[in-house]
Chain A
Amino acid sequence: MKEKIKSLKNEIELELNSVKNLKDLNEIKNKYLSKKGPVSELSNGLRDLSIDDKKVYGKLITDFKNDINNQFNILKDKFETEELNKKLENEKIDISMPGVNIGTGSPSFVEKVIDDASDFFISLGYDIYEGPEIELDKYNFEMLNLPKDHPARDAQDTYYLKDEDLLLRSQTSPVQVRVMLNGKGETPIRMICPGKVYRREDIDATHEQEFTQIEGLVIDKNISLSDLKGTFDAFVKHTFGENTEARFRPSYYPFTEPSVEMDMSCIYCDGSGCSMCKPKGWITISGGGMVHPNVLRMCGYDPDKWQGFAFGMAAERIAMLKYNMPDMRSMHENDLRETINFDRKEVK
């Protein structure tokens, strides 16, 4: 019996050594391991043996079967892996071909600036308001200390819509007037109001008839011009980088007193002067000051108890400076070759 097993083992192993593929392997398996094959016949030979021999040879046969099965499985695995690898090899693609063009969703330049400024001011507890673009002269001018015959009105050429009462707002300050009137002289105010404004003027690289203002207003009991400077300083650092500095210069606006021009240090040169900065080393991007007592009074806040600051800037100007755009008119051209690049997060 031992010899039988041994010679069968040799015979099978000889065949397995030369097998080349899964199909041949299966054939060999069928030949030896089928129900009527030589391996099963070995078990049939046990019937004639004594109980003790049955035990001894039974174990020998079982071990032999396991061994053979094991060898078959190892080879089967090997051939299957080889075949899969071959299949994958054939499925190889050119990864350098273009991917699917999933649409970009870019914001407009102005929207990007407004979003960024809104995030900044919201983080300081400011509320963001909007208001009508067709406004009353009363809110756009009169209650901002610009009575009918005020010379400063000449500077803001305005589109009037009906008589001298109804106009296209020339600034977003009327939104502030509305919020103040709503506050009834009792509620502290911390707000910005971004929105479109209209001026009746000639268009060039830095002037548009329609542009976007971001104006801010803080009214409380103890707000100072230094607070405006600190806030503005934080804003230019947020928008243009940590190294940017704020500077104030005296100015004049009818709605603020004192009034200031708000400059940031030039982001294009080291302060020694370049084509972008005027006065040398500085770029004026905003105007503001302490809310004029007449404005407070007209809007229902007692100037002996309340004080605060207001400021305003053009979103287009911020965008032009931040993204180095030479011409304001490109904001309205909507050339997608330019705008889709702005479907991108900011670098901070």
Chain B
Amino acid sequence: MISMNWVKDYINIQDENLEELADKVTKAGINVEHVIKTGIDNVVIGEVKTCTNHPNSDHLHICTVDVGTDTRQIVCGAPNVKEGLKVIVALPGAKLPNMEIKKGSIRGEESLGMICALCELGLEEETPENYNKGIYELPNDAPVGKDAFEYLGLSDILYDLDVHKHKNNDARYHIGFAYEIGTILGKKVKLPEANYTEIKDNIKDHFSLKVDTENCTYYKAKMVTDLVIGESPDFIKNRLISAGMRPINNIVDISNYVMLEYGQPLHFFDKDKLGDKIVVRQAKDNEVVTTLDEQDRKLTKEDIVITDGSKVVAIGGVMGALNTDVDDNTKTVLIESAIFNATNIRKTARRLNLRSEASLRYEKGLNFEYTDAALDRACFLLQKYASGKVLSGKVEYDNEDKKVKKVEFTTDRINSLLGIELTDKDIETELNKLDFEYEIKDNKFIATIPRRRLDIEDNVNDIAEEIGRLYGYHNLKNTMPVLPTKEGKLEHSFGFKKNVSKRMRSLGLNETRTYSLVDKNTSDMFYKDRNLVIIPNPMSTDRSALRKTMIPSMLDVIKYNKSRGLKDINIYETSKVFYGDFKEENHLAVALYGNYISNLWQGKIVKNDFYVLKGIIINLLNYLGLKNRYSFVESTEVNLHPGVSADIYLDRKKVGFFGRIHPKVNKDEIYVLEVCIDDLDINTKPLKFKAASKLPNIKKDIAFVMPISMKNEDVIKVIKHSGGRLLTDIQVFDLYVGENIGLENKSIAYTLTFEDNNRTLTDEEVMTIFNNIIKEVETKLNIKLRSM
């Protein structure tokens, strides 16, 4: 939260409309989420013109009050109200902390407002004591009709900034924010006063400093004595409240005030509770310290601690220890202004769950120039507002990398990155606004980044960003990249998967999207020879592993939809699955439940069963150009119905399986398929035209009676072999089981097609082949032709 009253100390924005300025700030990169006006509307300065006793009360008064716009009657109960007094009047519509003022009447007398005590305005605590002070009496020269909060210096405009998204530290402290506004408006910043006098006594006679860790690069301390603890002046209290901090006493408040000015956290130690030295070092594992919030904190060697040689007095950059805190009896303080390693602070704060105002600032990194400035400013304020005497000298340690960041760039390069057309002169204007020093050499700019701007790296893109945000991204044109024309391509595997997916949809299956993260206890249904990839740090057990099979997810979808009354559920999904040593594969899963195609009133139904799913997978495999390369064998998957399931082989490699889910897994009749898409993505022959025969063909029907256990496939194999070249097609057209052929038997009927592309076949030659087929089948398989 940034107080604009405060910012006004450092930059002249007296004439700016702060709503419009907020918009400019947002457009330039720091998002002002809200512009908040403090104070209460409809609270004005009034003058009591007449004051008489209320006829129906022993303590109320009837006053006429001039409120600027008019003179009105107000009933007031305060003992100190009298004619001629300048007072604070809340007019009807004013929303006070505990009530909203309305027109009304009090014991029969009209009252058009309320004359207020400070506690009624939320400016003092509401205690009986404060209430008894009565209404607040303003000086005689207070201008009637003016906004009372503004008159009291309590009206402020606050910018609520979204600082999380930005790297720019300037959003976190008032001087920084003044620089940001200076950049936008092209105005200069004036730093606050920090001149103080020193007494002869030197800090070095009281303290020695030793820094024993590379995680503290800069450490400065000064000592202030003879302090008088008391309340802070109003401006400090009001500003701290505006920024969301509670005023405590002048010493503590000054520490916070300077942090909000310069962004540099300070720590005040009570000198009398310290030994005679300061040692900065890494903590020891399991070292314990009680912090200011009275919590015991267990440290590790990753944390930075400040010690006085014998005890830990602060967790560096995070929080001070209770043992050396400033209290009501503090007379002398040691002021620490230091820089600690940002990453260390972030880790410590995270681990201890202790994100303090200090740690938040250390995490972002700090500029050593302000470490010095803040220290001096604190001495100045302690001298001025706490009667402190500043000892001469500093204890100091300096191992800070002070390399200055310089960036060399051309105007062309900036224009090329942003797609705009600035001149050298324009760039100079922007650099001046940014307060970046620069020189021009051989048509190149060499800009020096101010130390304040830790967020800017020494590359041209960072300069382009600064110039771009001042130019205004909303002012960029819409252009398209000027590039050679080129075909946009799908990466092979992506395109392949898309083809599979489209085919599934064209076959009437609906795509689902289920989680890859699953419960490690329910994901072992298939691929039992593969190990699950377990999540080491899961948030819940239902997301504790990566799935190796998609079927459990598909069963969940069926369950979900079934419970919502759906009867026909035909779904598919393509997704990665994971197993073993962090391997991943693309899989296709299908699940069918209910009917595949139906028109119930006609009694026309294609009910989902093994053969529907077989038709779907064959359709897919043929579409992918894999005809004649796949085969199906009885499945070995234990969670499929042992008699109604098949494994899919492609070029003799198992690529998947399908069939009915085993009734012990799910009682419903559900058919599932899972296949590795990557395994289907193999080289195939190019697509070529094949002419159909123009000559008539001859069709012959034939049926064999065979044992139930015999496989159709075995019969077809013999037919095909004995039929030779002229037998071009075999279709099954009937399966019969009945008493007249014996219940242990079945009959399968086939239509055989004979044709030759070059000549018309004669009946005699077809009959010869046909008879040969019958003979071969009967003898080789020991089954009989069915008499028709």
Contact = CB atoms under 8 A, between A and B. Distances in A.
Interface in A176-202: 188, 190, 196, 198, 200-202
B705 interface: no
Interface in B53-95: none
B508 A224 contact: no
A293 B505 contact: no
Contact of B582 (A149, A154, A166): A166
Given A98-B599, A258-B464, A229 B476 contact: yes
B476 A292 contact: no
A248 B476 contact: yes
Interface in A87-130: 97-111, 118, 121-130
A111 B512 CA distance: 10
A108 B489 contact: no
A227 B479 contact: yes
Given A128-B490, A130-B494, A334 B535 contact: no
B479 A105 contact: no
Given A98-B601, A104-B508, A230-B478, A125 B483 contact: yes
A64 interface: no
Nearest to A188: B483
B477 A229 contact: yes
Given A108-B513, A234-B480, A258-B461, A133 B597 contact: no
A210 interface: yes
Contact of B29 (A127, A196, A250, A334): A250
B582 A161 contact: yes
A143 interface: no
A293 B510 CA distance: 44
Contact of B494 (A99, A129, A154): A129
B560 A333 contact: yes
Given A160-B536, A260-B473, A111 B511 contact: yes
Contacts of B509: 103, 105
B541 to A, nearest CB: 14
Contacts of A337: 561, 564, 566
A307 B417 contact: yes
A133 B516 contact: yes
B466 to A, nearest CB: 9
Q: Contact residue range for chain B?
A: 35 or more
Given A166-B582, A210-B516, A224-B417, A229 B479 contact: yes
B196 interface: no
A339 interface: yes
Contacts of A142: none
Contact of B478 (A132, A196, A233): A233
A31 B575 CA distance: 82
B693 interface: no
A302 interface: no
B460 interface: yes
B27 interface: yes
Interface in B488-541: 488-491, 493-495, 501, 504-517, 533, 535-537, 539
A85 interface: no
Contacts of B350: 154
B8 to A, nearest CB: 25
B472 to A, nearest CB: 9
A269 interface: no
Nearest to A220: B483
A285 B371 CA distance: 40
A303 interface: yes
B404 interface: no
B315 interface: no
Nearest to A166: B582
Contacts of B516: 133, 196, 198, 210
B417 A105 contact: no
In this complex, which of A294, A332, A336 has the most chain B Cβ atoms within 10 angstroms of its Cβ? A336
A340 B509 CA distance: 10
A249 B476 CA distance: 11
A130 B497 CA distance: 11
Nearest to A127: B489
A252 B165 contact: yes
Contact of A226 (B343, B476, B488, B514): B476
User: DSSP class of B's interface residues: helix, strand, loop or mixed?
Assistant: mixed
A130 B569 CA distance: 30
B166 interface: yes
A303 B459 contact: yes
Given A227-B481, A331-B513, A107 B494 contact: no
A346 B349 CA distance: 51
A103 B457 CA distance: 59
A107 B508 CA distance: 11
B539 A209 contact: yes
B329 interface: no
A110 B564 CA distance: 23
Nearest to A120: B488
Given A231-B480, A332-B515, A102 B508 contact: yes
Given A110-B513, A129-B491, A162-B582, A258 B468 contact: yes
Interface in A195-226: 196, 198, 200-202, 209-210, 218, 220, 222-226
Interface in A288-343: 290, 292-294, 303, 307, 331-337, 339-340, 343
Nearest to A234: B480
Nearest to A114: B498
B482 interface: yes
Nearest to B581: A162
A290 B571 CA distance: 42
A108 B188 CA distance: 57
B486 interface: yes
A134 interface: yes
A232 B474 CA distance: 13
Interface string B10-43: 0000000000000000111101000000000000
Interface of A: 97-111, 118, 121-130, 132-134, 149, 151, 154, 159-162, 166, 168, 188, 190, 196, 198, 200-202, 209-210, 218, 220, 222-227, 229-231, 233-234, 246-252, 257-260, 290, 292-294, 303, 307, 331-337, 339-340, 343
Which 3 interchain pairs have the tightest Cβ spacing?
Answer: A103-B508, A226-B419, A224-B419
Interface of B: 26-29, 31, 165-168, 342-343, 346-347, 350, 363, 416-420, 457, 459-462, 464-465, 468-469, 473-474, 476-483, 485-491, 493-495, 501, 504-517, 533, 535-537, 539, 543, 546, 557, 560-561, 564, 566, 568-571, 573, 575-576, 578, 582, 584, 595-599, 601-602, 604
29 contacts: A100-B599, A101-B595, A103-B596, A105-B509, A105-B510, A108-B512, A111-B513, A125-B488, A128-B488, A132-B584, A133-B584, A149-B347, A154-B346, A188-B483, A190-B488, A196-B575, A200-B537, A223-B481, A225-B468, A226-B476, A226-B478, A234-B480, A251-B166, A252-B166, A258-B469, A294-B459, A331-B513, A334-B512, A334-B557
